[in-house]
């Protein structure tokens, strides 16, 4: 009888320990973009393409502004459309040599052969996604966005200092809380909610003056969730998501796209594209 | 033919609980300074009658007069009537969360508006007179049954009632404690307190009462001078009741 | 037959032996059970990991001041809600206990109120009041903008229902003869309630009341869903940022520091109530 009891106890404790182990083990691997620095043979003629002579780029259907304007990626209008053509140009393709296809978000980074050369679809670079697909170096790191009610006294804020007296709400477990505390350092203790529903509810109810989420979420909330709200701006904060172009696992093209993105970043062109399409939506807020 | 109005007068009072008739037309008169003893078996209606007189129960029919004034009229405020009567219960019913002194002064202070100092002074005087000196600060559960019942009587006297209703005040006591309570009641009688005494203590009833009423099944079956009732009862039921009492050694 | 002294001695010796054996068994079994449990846990393959994620001294030390600051909010909220509940609940209980026909509608409302509030999870009421009342758009700004008020109101409503039932049980437990005695000395119904019945009822329900307050002390953490950074939320934030659960342990310790002494007070009160009742029965 005592023997049985002890083994039951052992099993229970083992289960307990295992859960703790698994829960912790997962978080150790940090997401890092694939950076293989082999000698680059990125001559246009040598590239292994899905369709020779044509660069096949994928995005979601439908695609939304400000990433793609009017669901027409071929126009070059919209952030990801513009980034795609800039990468193409870096690789030596003309606009006419770029073909667009549509791929649903979830199958972009699913393991297996791809029908595209690369995909731009706001895909965050994450360790588990890298098991099934390649990522270029990041072309975008999400900043934080500030959303207020249209009739709020803070709707006209142009600097972070203007937001110091605002009652700000965020969702627990996101990077937004640290971002707000470190960058804005508001006078009123930030309200922390369980999920984005509650955050939005609080904003709609006037229980908070402003909510802070990563900018893509802020854009979504403004356009689809909180009617009549105003996105007063964005600000840089550590811990944002990195978005990378998705390629087939171990694709020869990956280092070339990474090199192209790096080159765009170094030349400042990436920054100006970002400013043109996303900055127009959400002006960059600074401290005064 | 006396011109004086009785302190208490009960006329044709009936009371039922559902189908069960407890009082079937009771008549009773209690003159000033008189003590009337109610005797009879358990369930004969003695307690109910006292509770009806104190307006703790609503009567079905008949009238009760206090100093010639109808008190059982629905328009008559019960609280005012109860303030003029004192009722002592078989089970004492002291307030267990209050000290002896607080038990006694509660009613004078709250319902008669007597200032605390005055109420406490007269309460101490009364308690002292009934041998309860030094127990003022005790809680009821620290006292013997006899002491508790004496406190209960003092509590009833504290509002200077016109008449005192005693409901089998010794029935819950151990035999050796009965005497101290009875001698207290005897003292009250000597001081001229008007009383209605429901009791099982026949010897006591015979000694103290001016009149004895035998209640049987909700009626006053026989009444009269104590000496006559106990020595020569007229009704067979009275004789039977008294015989049983003698058998159990209560007389 | 004069064997009584021997018998008594033998009986006492047996009793002593029995008591001695009892304490030895208790001591040995405590050591074996607790020691064995500790050994088993510490020697388990996952122990180091558990220790690191649940019992990290560094994380505890770093997170404790923030969690404590959050806990102060819990304590303040608890004290205010408790005071409000004590008064409101007595009112509800008295309304439900009266027989006056004129009060029928109020009595009905009080009955519906307690039935509903007792039957609904506290967290739902906190959500409903916390997000629902501001959504109506009729509440004043000071109320809308302070989750502590809204959360406090929600908790007060729930616990008023629980505590009102406790009070009502207490009122019912006071024997009708006490009311009769109070009326007989000339008190009015209201005076009888106020001076005789309520004081006795309240005394009797102190232990169950304290029990409800122990759960209230824990349930104040539910107000976190409305945004304020109380102890549990602070611990959650801290735990999420470095993937370590130790801050929850810090919060749990703080809750225990309040609830354990409260529990001991409950025990003592219950023992006292039992003694008192025993005494009353004995006389």
Where along chain A do its domains lie? 44-141+242-279, 144-235
Beta bridge partners of residue A214, listed in sequence order? A144
Cα separation, B9 vs B53, in Å, equals 9
Do domains A44-141+242-279 and A144-235 share one topology? The answer is yes
If you average pLDDT over residues A229-251, what whole number do you get?
90
* Residue A17 pLDDT > 60: no
Quote the tokens at residue C283: 């006389």
> Residue A11: its pLDDT value, please?
46
What pairing do the DSSP bridges indicate for beta strands B35-39 and B61-66?
A: unpaired
Q: What percent of chain C has pLDDT over 90?
A: 46
> Residue C265: its pLDDT value, please?
85
Q: Is C23 on the interface with B (CB under 8 A)?
A: no
CA distance A168 to chain C (A): 10
If you average pLDDT over residues C194-221, what whole number do you get?
90
The answer to whether A201 contacts C47, with C-beta atoms less than 8 Å apart, is no
The answer to whether B156 contacts C184, with C-beta atoms less than 8 Å apart, is yes
* Residue C269 pLDDT > 70: yes
Residues 6 or more apart whose CB falls under 8 angstroms from that of C225 comprise A193, A194, A198, C123, C126, C127, C130
Residues 6 or more apart whose CB falls under 8 angstroms from that of C25 comprise none
The answer to whether C184 contacts B56, with C-beta atoms less than 8 Å apart, is yes
Cα separation, C92 vs C158, in Å, equals 12
> Residue A285: its pLDDT value, please?
86
Q: What percent of chain A has pLDDT over 70?
A: 85
User: Where does the pLDDT of residue A35 fall: very low under 50, low under 70, confident under 90, or very high at 90 and above?
Assistant: very low
Contact A59, A108 (CB under 8 A): no
If you average pLDDT over residues A22-43, what whole number do you get?
49
State the DSSP code for A285. P
Nearest CB to A20 within list C37, C46, C145: C46
When comparing pLDDT for C242 and B110, which is higher?
A: B110
C203: nearest CA partner in chain B: B97
* Residue B61 pLDDT > 80: yes
Residues 131 to 150 of B: which have CB under 8 A from any C CB?
Answer: 141, 143-145
> Residue C283: its pLDDT value, please?
31
Nearest CB to B110 within list C180, C187, C276: C187
Quote the tokens at residue C207: 């232990």
* Residue A15 pLDDT > 60: no
Whether residue B169 is found in the same domain as residue B251 = yes
DSSP A147-193: EEETTSTTTT--SSGGGTTS-EEEETTSTHHHHIIIII--SSPPEEE
Q: Which helix (H) or strand (E) holds A6?
A: helix A2-25
The answer to whether B106 contacts C195, with C-beta atoms less than 8 Å apart, is yes
Other beta carbons within 10 Å of B238:
22
Helix/strand/coil (H/E/C) assignment for every residue in A213-261: EEHHHHHHHHHHHCCCEEEEEEECCCCCCEECCEEECCCCCHHHHHHHH
Contacts of B56 in chain C (CB under 8 A): 180, 183-184
DSSP C110-134: HHHHHHHHHHS-HHHHHHIIIIIHH
Domain end residue (candidates: B110, B139, B161) = B161
> Residue B192: its pLDDT value, please?
92
Q: Report the mean per-residue pLDDT for chain B.
A: 91
Contact A199, A193 (CB under 8 A): yes
Quote the tokens at residue B39: 């005797």
* Vertex B41 angle, CA B36 and B45, to 5°: 65
Quote the tokens at residue A181: 């505390």
Cα separation, C109 vs C86, in Å, equals 19
Domain end residue (candidates: B161, B194, B212) = B161
Which residue range forms the structural domain that includes residue B247?
1-84+163-251
Class of domain A144-235: alpha beta
Residues 6 or more apart whose CB falls under 8 angstroms from that of C35 comprise none
Quote the tokens at residue C221: 């953490």
User: Where does the pLDDT of residue A109 fall: very low under 50, low under 70, confident under 90, or very high at 90 and above?
Assistant: confident
What pairing do the DSSP bridges indicate for beta strands A140-141 and A242-243?
A: antiparallel
If you average pLDDT over residues A36-42, what whole number do you get?
56
Is residue B89 assigned to a domain? no
Per-residue model confidence as pLDDT tens digits over A158-210: 899 999 999 999 998 888 898 899 899 999 999 999 888 899 999 999 999 99
Quote the tokens at residue C189: 């119904």
Burial of C96 (0-12, 13-18, 19+ CB in 10 A): buried
Contact A73, A81 (CB under 8 A): yes
User: Where does the pLDDT of residue C65 fall: very low under 50, low under 70, confident under 90, or very high at 90 and above?
Assistant: very high
* Residue B104 pLDDT > 60: yes
The answer to whether C203 contacts B89, with C-beta atoms less than 8 Å apart, is no
Cα separation, C70 vs A104, in Å, equals 44
Q: Which helix (H) or strand (E) holds C237?
A: helix C231-242
C-interface mutation test, from A14, A29, A176, A202, most C Cβ less than 10 A away: A202
Residues 141 to 200 of A: which have CB under 8 A from any C CB?
Answer: 167, 169, 172-173, 177-178, 189-194, 198
* Residue B35 pLDDT > 80: yes
The single residue listed with the structure tokens 């109530």 is: C273
Backbone angles phi and psi of B88, in degrees to 5: -115, 130
Instruction: Choose the weakest-confidence range: B58-62, B100-104, C144-148.
Output: C144-148
Whether residue B168 is found in the same domain as residue B155 = no
Nearest CB to C185 within list B106, B141, B145: B106
Cα separation, C48 vs A111, in Å, equals 35
Give the alpha-carbon dihedral of C22, C27, C33, C39, to 10 degrees: -160
* Residue C282 pLDDT > 70: no
Whether residue B235 is found in the same domain as residue B212 = yes
* Residue B244 pLDDT > 50: yes
Backbone angles phi and psi of A6, in degrees to 5: -70, -35
> Residue A20: its pLDDT value, please?
43
* Residue B158 pLDDT > 80: yes
Q: What percent of chain C has pLDDT over 70?
A: 94
Contacts of B139 in chain C (CB under 8 A): none
* Residue B1 pLDDT > 90: no
Largest CA distance in chain B: 55
Q: Give chain C's domains with CATH numbers.
A: 54-282 (1.10.3720.10)
Whether residue B153 is found in the same domain as residue B171 = no
| Cis-peptide, bond into residue A66, ω within 30° of zero | yes
DSSP B110-150: HHS---HHHHHHHHHHHHHHTT-TT-TTS-GGGS-HHHHHH
> Residue B3: its pLDDT value, please?
54
Q: Is B87 on the interface with C (CB under 8 A)?
A: yes
Q: Report the mean per-residue pLDDT for chain C.
A: 88
When comparing pLDDT for A155 and A17, which is higher?
A: A155
CATH 3.40.190.10 holds for A44-141+242-279: yes
* Residue C273 pLDDT > 70: no
User: Where does the pLDDT of residue C3 fall: very low under 50, low under 70, confident under 90, or very high at 90 and above?
Assistant: low
> Residue B251: its pLDDT value, please?
54
Contacts of A192 in chain C (CB under 8 A): 224, 227, 229, 233, 237
Is residue B103 assigned to a domain? yes
Contacts of C177 in chain B (CB under 8 A): 89, 91, 93
Instruction: Choose the weakest-confidence range: A23-32, A267-276, B201-210.
Output: A23-32
Whether residue B72 is found in the same domain as residue B167 = yes
Whether residue B214 is found in the same domain as residue B189 = yes
> Residue C268: its pLDDT value, please?
85
What pairing do the DSSP bridges indicate for beta strands B163-167 and B85-88?
A: parallel
Whether residue B1 is found in the same domain as residue B113 = no
Whether residue B148 is found in the same domain as residue B172 = no
Which chains reach chain A with 3 or more Cβ–Cβ distances below 8 angstroms?
C
The answer to whether C243 contacts A24, with C-beta atoms less than 8 Å apart, is yes
Contacts of C180 in chain B (CB under 8 A): 51, 56, 89, 93
The single residue listed with the structure tokens 């082999």 is: A38
CA distance C37 to chain A (A): 9
Per-residue model confidence as pLDDT tens digits over C123-175: 999 999 999 999 888 888 888 888 999 999 999 999 999 999 999 999 999 99
Is residue B90 assigned to a domain? no
Contacts of B149 in chain C (CB under 8 A): none
Burial of A169 (0-12, 13-18, 19+ CB in 10 A): buried
Contacts of A191 in chain C (CB under 8 A): 147, 226-229
Q: Please report how many Cα atoms fall inside a 13 Å half-sphere around the Cα of residue C156, on the Cβ side.
A: 21
Q: Which helix (H) or strand (E) holds B87?
A: strand B85-88
How many domains does the structure of chain B reveal? 2
A166: nearest CA partner in chain C: C145
Quote the tokens at residue C174: 């006071």
The answer to whether C185 contacts B82, with C-beta atoms less than 8 Å apart, is yes
- Helices (H), ranges, B9-75: 46-53
User: Where does the pLDDT of residue B203 fall: very low under 50, low under 70, confident under 90, or very high at 90 and above?
Assistant: confident
CATH number at residue B39: 3.40.50.300
Whether residue B111 is found in the same domain as residue B40 = no
| B7: three-class secondary structure by DSSP | coil
Whether residue B62 is found in the same domain as residue B170 = yes
If you average pLDDT over residues C74-84, what whole number do you get?
94
Q: Is C184 on the interface with B (CB under 8 A)?
A: yes
* Residue A89 pLDDT > 90: yes
> Residue C149: its pLDDT value, please?
93
Q: Is B126 on the interface with C (CB under 8 A)?
A: no
Contact A274, A86 (CB under 8 A): no
User: Where does the pLDDT of residue B209 fall: very low under 50, low under 70, confident under 90, or very high at 90 and above?
Assistant: very high
Contact B84, B160 (CB under 8 A): no
Whether residue B31 is found in the same domain as residue B53 = yes
Q: Is C196 on the interface with B (CB under 8 A)?
A: yes
Which chains reach chain C with 3 or more Cβ–Cβ distances below 8 angstroms?
A, B
Contacts of C45 in chain A (CB under 8 A): 14, 17
Nearest CB to B111 within list C178, C187, C200: C187
Contacts of B96 in chain C (CB under 8 A): 200, 280
Helix/strand/coil (H/E/C) assignment for every residue in A26-72: CCCCCCCCCCCCCCCCCCHHHCCCCECCEEEEEECCCCCCCCCHHHC
Q: Report the mean per-residue pLDDT for chain A.
A: 84
If you average pLDDT over residues A142-146, what whole number do you get?
92
User: Where does the pLDDT of residue B180 fall: very low under 50, low under 70, confident under 90, or very high at 90 and above?
Assistant: confident
Using a threshold of 3 CB pairs under 8 A, tell whether chains B and A touch: no
Cα separation, B38 vs C201, in Å, equals 35
The answer to whether C180 contacts B144, with C-beta atoms less than 8 Å apart, is no
Q: Is C281 on the interface with B (CB under 8 A)?
A: no
Q: Which helix (H) or strand (E) holds B28?
A: strand B20-30
Contacts of B85 in chain C (CB under 8 A): 184
């Amino acid at each position: 009888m005592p023997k049985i009891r002890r083994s039951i106890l052992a099993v229970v404790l083992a289960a307990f320990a295992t859960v703790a182990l698994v829960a912790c083990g997962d978080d150790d691997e940090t997401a890092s973009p694939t950076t293989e620095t082999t000698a680059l043979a990125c001559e246009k003629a040598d590239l292994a393409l899905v369709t020779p002579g044509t660069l096949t780029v994928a995005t979601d259907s439908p695609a939304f502004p400000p990433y793609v304007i009017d669901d027409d990626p071929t126009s070059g209008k919209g952030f990801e459309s513009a980034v795609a053509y800039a990468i193409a140009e870096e690789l030596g393709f003309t606009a006419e040599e770029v073909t667009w296809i549509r791929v649903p978000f979830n199958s972009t980074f699913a393991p297996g052969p791809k029908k595209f050369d690369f995909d731009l679809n706001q895909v965050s670079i994450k360790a588990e996604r890298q098991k099934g697909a390649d990522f270029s170096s990041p072309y975008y790191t999400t900043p934080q966005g500030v959303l207020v009610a249209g009739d709020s006294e803070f709707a006209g804020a142009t600097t972070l200092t203007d937001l110091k007296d605002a009652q700000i709400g965020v969702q627990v477990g996101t990077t937004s809380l640290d971002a707000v505390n470190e960058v804005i350092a508001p006078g009123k203790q930030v309200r922390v909610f369980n999920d984005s529903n509650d955050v939005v509810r609080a904003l709609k109810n006037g229980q908070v003056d402003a909510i802070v989420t990563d900018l893509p979420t802020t854009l979504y909330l403004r356009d689809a969730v909180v009617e009549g709200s105003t996105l007063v701006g964005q600000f840089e904060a550590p811990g944002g998501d990195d978005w990378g172009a998705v390629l087939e696992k171990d694709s020869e093209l990956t280092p070339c796209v990474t090199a192209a993105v790096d080159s765009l970043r170094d030349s400042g062109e990436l920054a100006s594209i970002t400013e043109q399409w996303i900055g127009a939506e959400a002006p960059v807020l600074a401290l005064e | 033919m006396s011109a004086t109005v009785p302190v208490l007068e009960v006329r044709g009072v009936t009371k039922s609980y559902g189908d069960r008739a407890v009082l079937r037309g009771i008549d009773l008169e209690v003159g000033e300074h008189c003590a009337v003893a109610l005797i009879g078996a358990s369930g004969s209606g003695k307690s109910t009658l006292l509770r009806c007189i104190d307006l703790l129960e609503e009567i079905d029919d008949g009238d009760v007069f206090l100093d010639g004034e109808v008190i059982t009229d629905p328009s008559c405020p019960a609280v005012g009537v109860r303030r003029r009567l004192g009722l002592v219960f078989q089970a004492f019913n002291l307030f267990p969360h209050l000290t002896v002194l607080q038990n006694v002064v509660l009613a004078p202070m709250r319902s008669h508006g007597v200032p605390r100092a005055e109420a406490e002074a007269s309460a101490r005087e009364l308690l002292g007179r009934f041998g309860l000196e030094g127990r003022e600060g005790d809680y009821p559960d620290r006292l013997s049954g006899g002491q508790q019942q004496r406190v209960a009587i003092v509590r009833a006297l504290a509002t200077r009632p016109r008449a005192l209703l005693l409901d089998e005040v010794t029935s819950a006591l151990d035999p050796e404690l009965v005497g101290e309570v009875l001698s207290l009641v005897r003292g009250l009688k000597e001081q001229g307190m008007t009383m209605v005494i429901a009791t099982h203590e026949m010897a006591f009833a015979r000694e103290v009462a001016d009149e004895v009423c035998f209640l049987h099944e909700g009626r006053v079956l026989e009444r009269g001078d104590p000496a006559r009732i106990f020595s020569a009862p007229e009704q067979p039921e009275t004789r039977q009741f008294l015989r049983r009492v003698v058998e159990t050694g209560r007389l | 037959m004069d064997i009584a002294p021997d018998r008594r001695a033998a009986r006492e010796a047996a009793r002593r032996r029995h008591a001695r054996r009892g304490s030895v068994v208790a001591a040995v079994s405590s050591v074996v059970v607790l020691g064995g449990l500790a050994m088993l846990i510490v020697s388990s393959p996952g122990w180091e990991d558990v220790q690191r994620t649940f019992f990290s001294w560094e994380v505890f030390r770093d997170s404790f001041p923030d969690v404590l600051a959050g806990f102060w909010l819990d304590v303040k909220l608890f004290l205010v809600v408790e005071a409000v509940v004590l008064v409101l609940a007595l009112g509800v209980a008295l309304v439900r206990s009266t027989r006056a026909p004129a009060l029928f509608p109020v009595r009905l409302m009080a009955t519906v109120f307690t039935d509903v509030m007792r039957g609904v999870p506290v967290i739902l009421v906190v959500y409903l009041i916390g997000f629902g009342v501001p959504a109506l758009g009729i509440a004043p700004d000071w109320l809308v903008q302070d989750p502590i008020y809204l959360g406090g109101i929600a908790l007060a409503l729930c616990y008023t229902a629980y505590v009102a039932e406790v009070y009502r049980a207490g009122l019912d437990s006071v024997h009708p003869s006490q009311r009769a005695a109070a009326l007989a000395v000339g008190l009015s119904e209201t005076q009888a309630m106020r001076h005789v019945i309520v004081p006795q009822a309240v005394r009797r329900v102190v232990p169950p009341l304290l029990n409800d307050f122990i759960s209230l002390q824990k349930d104040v953490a539910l107000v976190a869903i409305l945004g304020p950074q109380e102890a549990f939320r602070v611990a959650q934030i801290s735990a999420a940022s470095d993937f370590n659960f130790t801050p929850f342990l810090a919060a749990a310790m703080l809750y225990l520091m309040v609830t354990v002494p409260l529990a001991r007070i409950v025990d003592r009160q219950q023992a006292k109530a039992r003694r008192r009742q025993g005494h009353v029965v004995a006389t």
